[in-house]
Structure 1
Amino acid sequence: MTYKNKILVIRFSAMGDVAMTAPVLKEFIREYPDTELLVVSRSLFKPFFNDIPNLSFHALEPKGKHKGFLGLIKLFRELKKEKVTAVADLHNNLRSKIVSCFFSLAGVKTATLDKGRKEKAALTCKENKLLKPLKSTVNRYADVFKELGFPFVLKNTLEKPVPAQLQKETFSFVPVPKTKKWIGVSPFAQHQQKVYPLPKMETVLLSLAEAGHQLFIFGGSEAEEHIAAQWEKKHDNILSVVKKVKLDDELKLISNLDVMLSMDSSGMHLASLKNIPVVSVWGATHPYAGFLGYGQSINDAAQIDLYCRPCSIYGNVPCYRGDFACMNNLSESVVINSVLKKLGND
């Protein structure tokens, strides 16, 4: 099929940010079914886009053939063969700007994400903090397409989940048939200031497991695998998924959950991809910065009000108070009751 337009979509990393693009692209295609999308990102993230029509994927190899400036030239030459009619830079970093610049010089219309750095600086400053909701990241993504001449209004709502079939060969560790409420738990994050203290999280897990719910722990690193394995030993209703399945299969399992409990991290956005409601836990960061999961509600955000919050957009700044009160003072009962309330509402 020949499409009227073909838009190159650039979003290299990180996992959560890439995942947030997928619902936006899905809505875009519904609005513009005569347009084709070409997404360039790391090969690991391809499963995020598998169910989006009119979309093809080009794998980025940042440590291989696309490394450095010469690698970006090679990437541009590969993408130029695709005959794209516009470029949507949803990343706005040095590498994406270079690729966009190449296309602009070649006469292709380009538009770049406005990250709202000035507003975010006002939101996180120590003095005269301007605490107000900023434009969501998904709406900032939509604005890029608007600049290219493709305006559309995001619904930003979860659809009815469609549970994927879990193949016995891959999910031998999963108790089937499903007889309990399934709770996913994504307790880790790239930056420590976004992680609910692990002893407190263990209390939450054991309480939910004792209540008769089945818990699945998600993560990625070897350290996280070790922690999840220790929790798994403490109750029959706690199972670790870390390093047991690939990302596309992880998404299939997530599609069968009743709720996800997640930090301000990729777990929240993976659940959003599969239309699963999320109870999110916030410490140094804040939903006002615009990174709440697509379709998720701030009413399901577990957090406490402090004069110092948020002190960081990404959670990569150490607590200047030194007591990490935003997480240490967030009661386990608040998190537990938020999850139970969400299960009850469903």
Structure 2
Amino acid sequence: MTKHPAPIHKILIVQTAFIGDVVLTLPLIQQAASLFPESDVHVLTIPTSVPLVETHRDVRRVWVFKKRTEHRGVKALWRFARQLKNEQFDLALVPHRSLRSALLVWLAGIPRRVGFDKSAGRWLFTDVIPYPTGVHEIERNLQLLRPFWEWNGERILPNIFFTEQDQDNVQHWLHQMNLQDQEFIALAPGSIWATKRWLPERFARLADQLIARGWPVVLIGGPEDKALAERICSLAQHPIVNAAGEFSVRESALLLKHARLLVSNDSAPMHLAVAVRTPVVAIFGPTVPAFGFYPYGENDRVVEDTQLSCRPCGIHGHQECPLGTHACMQHVTVEMVLNAVEEMIHAEAERR
């Protein structure tokens, strides 16, 4: 059921958090565009996330917010807000819960500003939405449309759109690696947070087990993951294809589209895989699925030790284990992950 709002011609959606958070905001963008088909949807995000939204069919314009450099500070924020004000937006949707995001849409003079009650700048919103717990982040973000629309519980997955150049780059690489006609399993060993990373030697052992079963293995990640990926390659007994640092974030998503399955830490690649409908086996350590950031695919799986009393130790994880044990990842064995992979492949084969 759709409610009847006042005319809305231009919408700004603000998400300046991590890449994974931007992927999880795509369904909100898609639904806003569907709900207001005559409106222009603009997205404000950080530079690293621009590739995910600049090609999206529902996005008219991307505003690049460099919060760490040129847009840092009150004066820079004010200047940026004045640019936004000139656009005469009718509605702002703000899933990001920082004071800066709320302040930006307020300074821009956007008459309808919708955000969560957990936001540090909730007093700057015209519509304050209760922050729901116990649901996925995608479903949580969709609640920002409550003043205009009632969600019926339908699963709305993110979409990423690719250019011809993306297609050419990935296809060329696949041919170079002799993978153009082979299904492969992708592994994403990286994370911004060190405690979220499963042990490199276990990724290497998992790769060996998969290769022994006839699956080519490809490591993916950004430039910051390249050294970690090289270490895993050196620990493995069989050759692994290392794609870490080879592609843009959008090309990495396209590469994942060619994969049979992804094994990932709780990090951005698992959300990219969901966006291209590639099955995910996710390894969770310091964080827990109950936070709402688990892989959203209908048949995706999470491997974790559910018995540890120290979990979760934080919503993002840490650079060092607070207890010095890293037990949450130590307790996740190669056999546990391998079993989840084999069960998923078998189940997917039966559904085909």
Deviation per CA, 1:102-143: give whole Å up to 9, x if none. 14xx361111134599xxxxxxxxxxxxxxx71221122111
1:50-97, Cα deviation, whole Å (9 max, x unpaired): 233253211112244322111111211121222210111111113212
Alignment counterpart, residue 115 of structure 2, candidates 112, 134, 140: 112
Number of residue pairs matched?
Answer: 323
Partner of 1:328: 330
In the alignment, which residue of structure 2 is the partner of 1:96?
A: 101
Do the aligned partners of 2:285 and 2:304 also contact (CA within 8 Å) in 1? yes
Q: How does 1:190-205 map to 2 (within 5 A)?
A: 190-205=192-207
> In 2, are the aligned partners of 1:6 and 1:83 still within 8 Å (CA)?
yes
The answer as to 2:81 corresponding to 1:76 is yes
* Mapped partners of 1:100, 1:211: distance in 2: 53
Distance 1:94 1:5 in 2: 26
Q: Distance in 1 between matches of 2:295 and 2:340?
A: 17
RMSD, aligned CA: 2.8
Q: Which moved more, 1:192-201 or 1:63-72?
A: 63-72
Question: In the alignment, residue 40 of structure 1 is paired with which amino acid?
Answer: L
Q: Which structure is richer in relative contact order (CA contacts within 8 A, separation 6 or more)?
A: 1
- Per-residue CA distance 1:23-49 (angstroms, 9 max, x = gap): 332233334423321100113212222
Distance 1:288 1:177 in 2: 38
C-alpha distance 176-166 of structure 1, shift in aligned 2 (>3 A) = farther
CA distance in 1 between counterparts of 2:161 and 2:29 reads 19
> Which residue number corresponds to residue 261 of structure 2?
259
Could you tell me whether the CA contact under 8 Å between 1:194 and 1:283 is conserved in 2? yes
Supply the AA of the counterpart residue of 1:12.
T
Identity score, percent: 21
Q: Is the 8 A contact 1:209 1:235 kept in 2?
A: no
Partner of 1:33: 37
8 Å contact 1:9–1:40 — kept in the other structure? yes
Gaps of 5+ in 2: 1-6, 121-132
Partner of 1:281: 283
Contact 1:157–1:294, Cα closer than 8 Å, also in 2: no
Determine helix, strand or coil for the equivalent of 2:80: helix
Code of the residue aligned with 2:269 in structure 1: it is G
AA partner of residue 66 (structure 1) = H
Q: Distance in 2 between matches of 1:319 and 1:54?
A: 40
Q: What is the SS of the residue equivalent to 1:333? A: helix
Aligned amino acid, residue 32 of structure 2: F
* C-alpha spacing 1:235/1:250, structure 2 compared with 1 (3 Å): farther
What SS does the aligned partner of 1:343 have?
Answer: helix
Structure 2 residue aligned with 1:126: none
